[in-house]
């Protein structure tokens, strides 16, 4: 990440009633959705928004996702979902996440996802087929949102 990189804005998510469960906390599956929200926002911030690629017939499926839950989030609390593009190797790229309570700074969860690009069901060689997206990813490795 170069010195003159514009500062990325950390993604915030206000917890909704429909995201809680009868344990009175956010249902664990929703963190996987929060990761997606923050990842999409991160990619838009670095200029690699997903909407244009999808319009061109590409899709970027999630190949794996994991979350480690550290503490529970209640209704009405607000979360930072911090994202880092941790690796880009072959056709596969990896994000790591930290979910942090805005009010207290408490760590709620960490996580990781991996992704590729497909067109018509086949793996896309980004370097050849989407050199611009490839360059963006190469340059963005190590970039992250911080509080």
Edge-to-edge order in the sheet of strand 118-119: 58-59, 118-119, 122-123
Calpha distance 101→103 (Å, rounded): 6
Q: Assess 94 for contact with a second copy (CB under 8 A).
A: no
Q: Tell me whether residue 2 or residue 23 sits nearer to a second copy (CB atom).
A: 23
Q: Assess 66 for contact with a second copy (CB under 8 A).
A: yes
Of the listed pieces 31-39, 92-100, 122-130, 132-140, which binds a second copy according to CB under 8 A?
Answer: 31-39
Q: Assess 25 for contact with a second copy (CB under 8 A).
A: yes
Q: Assess 72 for contact with a second copy (CB under 8 A).
A: yes
Number of residues in contact with a second copy under rule CB under 8 A: 36
Q: Are 97 and 86 in contact (CB under 8 A)?
A: no
Q: How far is the CB of 50 from a second copy (least distance, A)?
A: 8
Q: Assess 18 for contact with a second copy (CB under 8 A).
A: yes
| 41 included as an active-site residue | no
**Chain positions contacting a second copy, by CB under 8 A:** 16-18, 20-25, 27-30, 32-33, 36-37, 40, 49-51, 54, 59, 61-69, 72, 74-76
Active site amino acids: 21
């Amino acid at each position: 990440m170069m010195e003159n990189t514009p500062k990325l804005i950390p993604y915030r998510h206000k917890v909704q009633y429909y995201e809680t469960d009868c344990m009175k906390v956010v249902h664990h599956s929703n963190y996987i959705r929060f990761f997606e929200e923050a990842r999409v926002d991160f990619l838009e911030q670095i200029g690699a928004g997903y909407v244009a690629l999808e319009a061109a017939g590409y899709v970027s499926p999630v190949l794996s996702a994991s979350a480690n839950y550290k503490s529970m989030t209640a209704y009405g609390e607000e979360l930072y979902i911090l994202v880092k593009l941790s690796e880009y190797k072959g056709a596969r790229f990896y994000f790591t996440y930290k979910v942090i309570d805005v009010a207290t700074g408490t760590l709620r969860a960490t996580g990781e996802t991996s992704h590729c690009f497909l067109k018509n069901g086949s793996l896309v060689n980004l370097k050849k087929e989407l050199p611009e997206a490839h360059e963006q990813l190469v340059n963005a490795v190590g970039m992250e949102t911080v509080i």
